[in-house]
A and B are shown apart, each in its own frame.
Chain A
């Protein structure tokens, strides 16, 4: 089976800045693939390289087995949903959606039919006559989606399409997008800086940092087995423990990560599979479903602990700031990390 998109040592330089630095990715056909990273990490540049708005400075990009470097956007079988939607303001919704078919010379009757069908797919049937300015943000987003999907691309690129929507709408669109992707069976490549979004929607996620890929994995593995300190701290929250302290707790100088929710307060004697460390309670933050405790360790590092709340137990009221405490966790909850902090 050929891959939907394949990057082989792809770099993109803007002057001195390496926006994308020797990136290799294999994206499978029909996969929901996310590119996750902070702003400026190179994820959007990678998307633009696939769309053809940028050309790589080095390396090879294959789309369905075909070399894409040098091909202009209009010769690629991919379509993009833009962050600002990029709807044509002088056309109504139907003409916007039918645009891709029109420029490819599809007859008027057929393209209007297919545009109406695509609008139905995103639950905007009957909105064809409206101008983009007459729509809400969520509706514009759906029009942009319909306009891309009407061309039946084999790969759909989504550039932070939900960024401008409010939380409720975003969550609703997340599940609709996922449903749509399953129904159409085409490859979705989704760029986002929101780790929850990436985890909840994707089959696999690539985590970007400074133009390089830190890890490509399933959401579960990304969270449970982060490969690097960056991934551990960017995806969810994590305690990364290094150096002497790591040596004492894990028996190896290799840094490790321990999730706040895997840490508990010590009760009874220390079990064989557990390790423990003591400190002073520095801060308590009540967060509704959980409470976050910050434990100041002897070496000055802060250990985050998260305890679930329920109707019988409000963990935030059981402790006080300034109180000495011992934290404990299972050895197997520690994930060893490749420490690449400071590496460029």
Chain B
């Protein structure tokens, strides 16, 4: 026996209303997060970028809302442009290295592990992310420092001449590992590696084993199967992972401070400009840099067809 519509309890009437009007239901689900995303996130980002057009007076250290392009023009001054280039080249190198290191691990996880072994690998890959990232960066400064663990190994393996040679290369080296570009690069690769492994692993997981068998069946040697089938089909995963490693490196301001030679990264520059110097307009201008670079990067990746196989 069913009650007439008007006699049903209010909650029932309400759920019936939602059932009849799916758009209302959808709106109720989506409006709160959209308000949050729109007002809090996009709103504050746009406000920040808008401040990039304000004027900063070097003498009085005061910000006035007189609109100018001077801050964005200042990005191209050699000292600032160096910072951008340094950050960008590190982001590119870190992304490439992460992809190379991550691929075999991701491949092994996707193709050769099942059940408990797979769970073990997931935990092993993600466990470093459970620890604070600052702690890990500090730990690396100790590992790489003079007299640290890394040097101890180098000494006992008799590789000191090699280390001296590598540290002597301009643009790579420094006085010790912990104050070299190489050291900073190693820490970045270590910290962002999980963000590269997981998307590649997911893309390889979706690869049906019959495709690899078909390739071998048609006469392809393992190397050919890798180059012609596995690699092209894992490109979306590599692209997704590299978006993480690229953007995270671009925005980071802690690792460059703790490890590596002196000299700002974009993130550190934003931090310094708005904190110690109080030049909010310049900080805002620097904020635009990673956004623009990532947009360019995404359009290149898309142009290369990385998302066609999605």
Contact = CB atoms under 8 A, between A and B. Distances in A.
A119 to B, nearest CB: 16
Interface of B: 208, 210-211, 213-221, 224, 228-229, 232-233, 308-309
A148 to B, nearest CB: 8
Given A53-B213, A99-B228, A103-B224, A147 B233 contact: no
Contacts of A148: 217-218
Contacts of B220: 74, 99-100, 103
A147 B210 CA distance: 14
A88 B213 CA distance: 11
Q: Which 4 A-B pairs have the closest CB atoms?
A: A100-B218, A86-B214, A86-B210, A73-B216
Contact of B219 (A53, A89, A100): A100
A84 B213 CA distance: 12
Interface in A279-304: none
Interface string A60-89: 000000000000111000111011101111
B89 to A, nearest CB: 31
Given A89-B309, A99-B228, A103-B228, A72 B218 contact: no
Interface of A: 51-53, 72-74, 78-80, 82-84, 86-90, 99-100, 102-104, 147-148, 151
A103 B218 contact: yes
Contacts of A79: 217-218
A103 B233 contact: no
Nearest to A144: B214
A148 B309 CA distance: 24
8 contacts: A74-B220, A82-B210, A86-B211, A88-B211, A88-B215, A88-B228, A100-B219, A103-B218
Given A86-B208, A86-B213, A103-B221, 14 more contacts: A51-B213, A52-B216, A73-B216, A73-B217, A74-B217, A74-B218, A83-B210, A88-B215, A88-B229, A99-B218, A103-B219, A103-B228, A147-B218, A151-B219
Nearest to B210: A86
Contacts of A73: 213, 216-217
A74 B214 contact: no
A90 B219 CA distance: 19
Nearest to B309: A90
B305 to A, nearest CB: 9
Given A82-B210, A84-B208, A99-B228, A90 B215 contact: no
B219 to A, nearest CB: 5
A191 to B, nearest CB: 14
A251 B232 CA distance: 69
A78 B213 CA distance: 13
Given A88-B229, A90-B232, A103-B221, A82 B309 contact: no
Given A90-B233, A90-B308, A90-B309, A74 B221 contact: yes
A51 B218 CA distance: 10
Residue of B208, B217, B220 most packed against chain A (CB within 10 A): B217
A51 B215 CA distance: 12
Contacts of B213: 51, 53, 73, 80, 82, 86
A79 B214 CA distance: 9
A80 B217 contact: yes
A83 B209 CA distance: 12
A219 B13 CA distance: 66
Contacts of B233: 89-90
Given A90-B232, A90-B308, A90-B309, A74 B211 contact: no
A74 B220 CA distance: 6
Nearest to A150: B218
Nearest to B224: A103
B144 to A, nearest CB: 41
Contacts of A104: 219
A83 B308 CA distance: 25
A253 to B, nearest CB: 49
A303 B26 CA distance: 61
Contacts of A89: 233, 309
B309 A74 contact: no
Residue of B210, B219, B228, B229 most packed against chain A (CB within 10 A): B219
Nearest to A78: B217
A113 B210 CA distance: 26
Given A84-B210, A86-B208, A99 B309 contact: no
A100 B220 CA distance: 7
